[in-house]
Amino acid sequence: MNFDELKEKLYVAVLSDVLDQLGYTHQATRIPFHAYTGIPKLLGRCKTTLWADMFDRDKNPYELELQAVDSCQPGDVLICAAGDSRRSGIWGELLSTAARNSGCVGVIVHGGVRDIDKMRAMEFPVFATSRNPYDSQNRQRVIDLDVTVEIDGVQFRPGDLVMADEDGIVVVPKEIENQAIAAALEKVDAENTTRDAIKNGMKAWEAYQKFGVL
């Protein structure tokens, strides 16, 4: 599967629509994520980490987060499920550099990030819910990796396809991935046809009746 080609053709809303049609109605987030490095779209496979706040000295700082970063595979998107904590910026320039070296194509953080200017210069895609200058040491840590995590009621499972853009984030379960992608590509074509017809003067209701998409 060529992620670069799919990323150009697909977008979160159309994937959410086809997942709805397939009976998967809780696959997209509703909370706002911001593309902090200015790259508006991200597509790859979930590499998951579960984070927790901490209030004591960490005996093994950064241990599991570095393990997660170093074990990324080409095409992975690192998912940081941190409960939207504002205790620190858990992702920054050095983790981005190490993750990219392992083949990671971007990160989604349900929490804070930092070193934004440096990550922007790297052109590394970063979607997060906040920014925060504090270091994560003794404030937050990874407590598990490569497990199912949940963000805004949406489950992110290792290996599932995930896409992020300005509309939000959507997760495509592995077991229906091919079916969902085929349906999404078909819907994109139908939407393009409908748009052209409306531009050429066809009424919206007539276009919907003829092409069946909106």
Question: Which residues does the annotation place in the binding site for substrate?
Answer: 92-95, 114
Only one residue has tokens 């696959």, namely 27
* CB atoms near residue 115 (< 10 Å): 21
- Tell me the C-alpha distance between 184 and 125, whole Å: 23
Binding residues: 92-95, 114-115
Q: Which residues pair with 170 in a beta bridge?
A: 28, 163
Annotated binding site for Mg(2+): 115
AA identity, residue 194: T
3-state secondary structure of 41: coil
CB 113 within 8 A of CB 131: yes
